[in-house]
Amino acid sequence: MRLDRFLAETGFGTRTEVKKLIKQGKVTVDGGLATKAESHIYPEKAEVRVDGVLVRYREFIYLMLNKPDGYVSATWDKKLPTVIDLLPEEYAHFEPFPVGRLDIDTEGLLLLTNDGELAHRLLSPKHHVPKTYLAQLERAVKDADIAEFKDGVTLDDGYKTLSAELEGFTVDGEPWAEITICEGKFHQVKRMFEAVGNKVLYLQRVRMKNLVLDEALELGEIRELTEEEISGLKN
67 makes contact with ligand URA (CB under 6 A): no
Compute the distance between CA of residue 113 and CA of residue 79 in angstroms, rounded to an integer: 23
Name the packing angle between helices 116-123 and 227-234 (round to 10°): 60
CA distances from 150 to 16, 19, 51, 72 (A): 58, 60, 59, 30
Nearer to ligand URA, 19 or 190 (CB): 190
CA distances from 14 to 9, 29, 42, 88, 225 (A): 9, 19, 20, 18, 26
Size of the site for ligand URA (CB under 6 A): 8
189 makes contact with ligand URA (CB under 6 A): yes
Q: Which of 123, 83, 137 is nearest to 208 (CA)?
A: 123
18 makes contact with ligand URA (CB under 6 A): no
Stretch that binds ligand URA, among 22-30, 85-93, 101-109, 215-223 (CB under 6 A): 101-109
Give the residue, chosen from 66, 106, 113, 204, that forms a contact with ligand URA under the rule CB under 6 A.
106
Distance from CA of residue 39 to its chain's centroid? 35
122 makes contact with ligand URA (CB under 6 A): no
Catalytic residue, from 30, 77, 85, 103: name it: 103
Question: Nearest distance from residue 84's CB to ligand URA, in Å?
Answer: 17
Binding site for ligand URA (CB under 6 A): 102-103, 106, 187-190, 203
> Catalytic amino acids?
103
